[in-house]
Amino acid sequence: MAGESKAKVIPLHSNSGRSAAAQRRAAQRADSVRRHPSLLTDPGTRASAEQIAAVVREIDQHRGAGAGDEQDTPNELCKAITAIADFAVKRMTGDYTVDEFGFDPHLTNAVVMPMLRVLFTSWFRVEVSGIENLPREGAALIVANHAGVLPFDGLMASVAVHDHHPLHRDLRLLAADLVFDLPVVGQAARKAGHTVACTSDAHRLLAAGELTAVFPEGFKGLGKPFKDRYKLQRFGRGGFVSAALRAQVPIVPCSIVGSEEIYPKIGDIKLLARLFGLPYFPVTPLFPLAGPLGVVPLPSKWHIQFGEPIPTADYDESAAEDPMVTFELTDHVRETIQHTLYQLLAARRNTFLG
């Protein structure tokens, strides 16, 4: 009617200023009432005490579930702080183990792997296949091609095994003497579980049941010109085959695509190489002209494939000393890796995308 003031409706409950948990509980209460229409204020209808008690119990159950969800929500910052504190306490108290080679799993898992994982997932975007060809337990010798001026391929292979193997096993690399002669680098390599590429160390690792990786091309593969990319160099004298035969462990060929493009080597300054005691001093499109920027690897797309294992258990003990046996097995492994490289290259759509 004209002249009458309309009653101002003031809501008893407002969402403004209410927490998400309070809003969720209100929605749960409303949902409970909708499922029990007898509680609505219909004329002449009144809920019994039993019905009201049943709805109250249901609301309490929903509240308990909601509270549990809130408590179970992890606080990432707290988790990170706790992990750092736990790491620091263990380092200060000495509550960690180091094996005879200097391998420090505590430091590797907490510091080394997270840093390498950034390159693995975000920079090189490594695709891994054939991980099922690695044994769940026990030793195996992984033999891979080697390229890229700096040995990023070995580091990425170690992340591939650790992160993709169902038991998250560690891959122990056999590296050149030069790595362990470098200050800081040599100590870091030891703590990450790697050792010198010699027959005695290879045999000790395999005898201990470790997954061990070797790169038989050595510096010939690592420092080859870009024009020879993905063409395997000579595989040494077959010492890795002898180690596998002595330990009676399978040989797993490993083919890596993508490492050749991170530092395209177009030249070699031999005078500087001799001056610094290096096997080569590379010239790439960005190094040394671009200075420190030239040290950053190009973000090529990688694929690491582990092939079917080649068994050695059927050979007798004398096979490790037989040049013909070691030569045949060495050639077989090399041809397998080369053939797989060609297959992966044929299937690759783009060098830097994908």
| Sheet strands (E) in 54-204 | 127-129, 140-144, 171-175, 195-196
Over its C-alpha atoms, the chain yields an Rg (Å, rounded) of 31
Q: Look at 72 and 171; give whichever has higher pLDDT.
A: 171
Confidence of residue 74 (pLDDT cuts 50, 70, 90): low
Is residue 307 predicted with pLDDT exceeding 80? yes
pLDDT of 182? 92
Dump the DSSP string for 264-327. Answer: ---EE-HHHHHHHT-S--EE-SSTTTTGGGGGSPP----EEEE---B--TTS-GGGGG-HHHHH
**φ and ψ at 129, to 5 degrees?**
-140, 160
Domain ranges of the chain: 105-262+297-345
Angle subtended at Cα 297 by Cα 348 and Cα 213, rounded to the nearest 5 degrees: 70
Q: What average pLDDT does this structure show over 273-278?
A: 94
Mean pLDDT of the chain: 85
74-80: average pLDDT? 75
pLDDT at residue 11 in the model? 45
CA distance 236 to 219: 11
Per-residue confidence (pLDDT) for residue 44, from 0 to 100: 45
**Residue 104 has which token pair?**
């420090």
Task: Please give the Cα distance from 213 to 248 (Å, whole number).
Answer: 16
**Torsion angle (degrees, nearest 10) of CA 288, 289, 291, 296:** -70
Tokens of 152: 């990023």
Rounded alpha-carbon distances, angstroms, from residue 27 to 13, 32, 71, 171? 12, 9, 19, 53
| pLDDT of res. 6 | 45
Any idea which of 152-156, 264-268, 349-353 has the lowest mean pLDDT?
349-353
| Burial class of residue 19, CB neighbours in 10 A (0-12, 13-18, 19+) | exposed
What is the reported pLDDT for 194?
A: 96
Phi/psi class of residue 277: alpha, beta or left (left: φ > 0; alpha: ψ in -120 to 50)? left
Residues above pLDDT 90, as percent of the chain: 69
CATH of domain 105-262+297-345: 3.40.1130.10
Over residues 295-308, the mean pLDDT reads 97
pLDDT of residue 82: 82
Residues 184-209, mean pLDDT to the nearest whole number: 94
Dihedrals phi, psi of 284, to nearest 5 degrees: -120, 175
Q: How confident is the model at residue 75 (pLDDT cuts 50, 70, 90)?
A: confident
- Rounded-to-5 percentages of helix, strand, coil across the chain: 50, 10, 40
204-260 confidence digits (pLDDT tens)? 999 999 999 999 999 999 999 999 999 999 997 778 999 999 999 999 999 999 999
Other C-beta atoms lying within 10 Å of the C-beta of residue 220: 16
Question: Which tens digits make up the pLDDT trace of 109-160?
Answer: 999 999 999 999 999 999 999 999 999 999 999 999 999 999 999 999 999 9
